[in-house]
Amino acid sequence: MKTMQWMGMLVAGMVLSGCLYSGALVGPGDVEGTTPPRLTINSNKEHVWDNPGNFGPVPAHKKAEADQICRSAGGSRATGYHSKAMDEKGVPYPGGGYYCVKD
């Protein structure tokens, strides 16, 4: 439970309704990218992932917990996972990070 609460805090500012890039929705890919996504702050002072396309799918064994973490942070569900997702300082989150969306 402590891990879930901690991860929920990490995800709190990261819930996204989607990132637009060249007019197209950018989100997780079919496989985890070699460059980990990093949390950044955009011009609107919102926390966003710099490379959402580098998230891969959420592993089946993590899906229920991932969705619960995203819901606790104001999202609907997790659509991506990266085992080495990084915080703003470039430090990997223990246990990885999730790409959350609002439906």
Q: Read off the pLDDT of each residue in 30-48 and give the average, rounded to a whole number.
A: 93
**pLDDT tens digits, 12-28:** 334 443 332 323 357 89
Q: How many CB atoms lie within 10 A of CB 23?
A: 5
Contacts of residue 58, defined as CB under 8 A and 6 or more positions apart, other chains included, come to 66, 78, 79, 80, 81, 98
The answer, yes or no, to whether residue 11 has pLDDT greater than 80, is: no
How many structural domains comprise the chain? 1
Q: Are 31 and 23 in contact (CB under 8 A)?
A: no
DSSP 49: E
| Domain membership of residue 95 as a residue range | 2-101
Confidence of residue 2 (pLDDT cuts 50, 70, 90): very low
